[in-house]
Amino acid sequence: MQPHIYSQQQHNIPQERIDSDALFVIDRLQKAGHIAYLVGGGVRDLLMGLYPKDFDISTSAKPEEVRRLFSNSLLIGRRFRLAHIRFGKKTFEVSTFRAGDTAEDSLILRDNIWGVPEEDVLRRDFTINGLFYDPQYKQVIDYVGGMQDIQHHFLRTIGDANIRFKQDPVRMIRLLKFRARFGFAIDERTWQALLDNYLEITKSSPARVVEELLRMLESGHSLSFFTLLEQTKMLAILMQTFDEECKNIGNKELLSYLHIVDHFHKQHINEKLDRTVLLAALIFPIIEKKLERISFEDVSFTTILKTAESILNPLFHQSFVQFTKRQRFLVEFILIMQQRFDLTLKTSKIRPRLLSHPEKNIALQMLFLRSHNHELLRPLYTQWKEASRGEPHPI
């Protein structure tokens, strides 16, 4: 299997965008006699003119050999054994080239059969993530047509999509993630395979699914992503209560805060809203809709609490995705605090006790989002923000 090799003149990857510590790791591996490349999303992002968040490395060195070469490394994983090499706050993931039968359509439980680059690339998910970059020769190595798919804005799996999704159903969520992030067209066979196999997602680790959902809430493309989840019926599998509310209230209204969340993250690339605030932003429109039936004067702490619990209980306990008890507690706190803030619309008085609460900032983040959805709340947010001046505040 011969790869297509793209030279520096053909791919135009700017070397200065590659992390110097990643280059150091690859150089040491190569000098020790191993093959070592940048791989995956980092190569994809460099080719698209983006700044990669991660620089993953793939090598012929076995995990134990990597560990011996780097004292700042740690071996992790059983199902998928690899090394993490740390430089201060940065961590580089170093995986060994894998081999194995890619035609097997059962869930991959262990994947520690070592191979060569052309075998390893066939184990990866999508062609746009199946590219190697060799910084020594400044070459992109393409076994799967990923370079052309990036140029043509096209998403397709490496190999049979039905098999790939059964081997690792989280790949279906990742497909929607790339569609939402990049706006790429999805190959017809790949799209049909997702529609045919979406129920396979229940075979995934709930923790992995939750992490993908939370990352997308932070991505600046959460509105498109959750719309795709709803359209493909996966939202009904992952968050049944939320999906039912989508149908009752309407997708556009229910996801209205995600537009604001996305705008914030696009404007503040290096800042992230707290994850519990992002979960609250999903849930708050449901509460708003339920409270519309109650007059402002009758909306009390008890009303808010009961309304929040009627939504949070099934969402946190009857969904495939499982959030932590602390996340549940903080989301409930954020939602209830909104009523506390709203009370000052009547009195115009700030309650000092609320400013002393250790979690007040995440509640203020939610008020910030609400103030962009309701013009009436903008002076209220400004008032509370000014009252908390002098203390750490993310917005």
- Name beta bridge partners: 91: 86
CA–CA gap between residue 117 and residue 58 (Å, rounded)? 8
So what's the pLDDT on residue 159? 93
Residue 5 has phi, psi (to 5 degrees) of: -105, 125
Contact between 113 and 63 (Cβ < 8 Å): no
pLDDT band at 299 (very low <50, low <70, confident <90, very high): low
**Neighbour order of strands in the sheet with 56-59:** 4-6, 139-142, 131-134, 36-39, 56-59, 90-96, 82-87, 73-76
CA–CA gap between residue 14 and residue 47 (Å, rounded)? 9
pLDDT band at 294 (very low <50, low <70, confident <90, very high): low
pLDDT, one tens digit per residue, over 2-20 is: 999 999 999 999 999 999 9
| Half-sphere exposure for 301 (CA within 13 Å, toward CB) | 4
DSSP state at residue 389: T
pLDDT band at 255 (very low <50, low <70, confident <90, very high): confident
Q: Delineate the domains of the chain, giving CATH numbers in brackets.
A: 4-152 (3.30.460.10), 157-204 (no CATH), 205-395 (1.10.3090.10)
Q: At what angle do helices 378-387 and 325-347 cross, to 10 degrees?
A: 110
CA–CA gap between residue 27 and residue 249 (Å, rounded)? 56
So what's the pLDDT on residue 337? 86
∠ CA(221), CA(226), CA(231), 5° rounding?
A: 130
The DSSP secondary structure of 90-142, one letter per residue, reads: EEEEEEEPB---TT--S-------B--HHHHGGGSSBGGG-EEEETTTTEEEE
Number of Cβ atoms within 10 Å of the Cβ of 274:
18
**Is 70 exceeded by the pLDDT of residue 153?**
yes
**Is 80 exceeded by the pLDDT of residue 304?**
no
Q: Mean pLDDT of all residues in the chain?
A: 87
Torsion, Cα 29 30 36 41, to 10 degrees, reads 80
The DSSP secondary structure of 293-344, one letter per residue, reads: TS-GGG--HHHHHHHHHHHHHHHHHSSSS---HHHHHHHHHHHHHHHHHHHH
**Is 80 exceeded by the pLDDT of residue 183?**
yes
pLDDT, one tens digit per residue, over 218-230 is: 999 999 999 999 9
Q: Which residue has the higher pLDDT, 63 or 288?
A: 63
CA–CA gap between residue 47 and residue 12 (Å, rounded)? 7
* Side chain identity at residue 311, one-letter code: I
So what's the pLDDT on residue 24? 97
Q: Which residue has the higher pLDDT, 388 or 143?
A: 143
Number of Cβ atoms within 10 Å of the Cβ of 382:
11
Residue 59 has phi, psi (to 5 degrees) of: -150, 160
Which residues, 6 or more positions from 255, have their beta carbon under 8 angstroms from its beta carbon?
223, 226, 227, 246, 282, 285
So what's the pLDDT on residue 386? 81
CA–CA gap between residue 135 and residue 368 (Å, rounded)? 44
pLDDT, one tens digit per residue, over 326-350 is: 998 899 889 888 877 877 766 666 6
| Half-sphere exposure for 117 (CA within 13 Å, toward CB) | 23
Contact between 131 and 14 (Cβ < 8 Å): no
What's the pTM value of the predicted model, to 2 decimals? 0.88
Nearest-CA neighbor of 141 among 34, 37, 28? Answer: 37
CA–CA gap between residue 299 and residue 302 (Å, rounded)? 8
Tokens 């049909």, located at residue = 192
DSSP state at residue 2: P
* Side chain identity at residue 12, one-letter code: N
**Is 80 exceeded by the pLDDT of residue 101?**
no
CA–CA gap between residue 367 and residue 287 (Å, rounded)? 14
Please list the helix, strand and coil fractions of the chain in percent, rounded to the nearest 5, in that order: 55, 10, 30
SS3 1: coil
| Residue 310, token pair as written in the block | 């009627």
Mean pLDDT (whole number) for 40-63: 95
pLDDT band at 298 (very low <50, low <70, confident <90, very high): low
Among residues of the chain, what percentage have pLDDT more than 70? 88
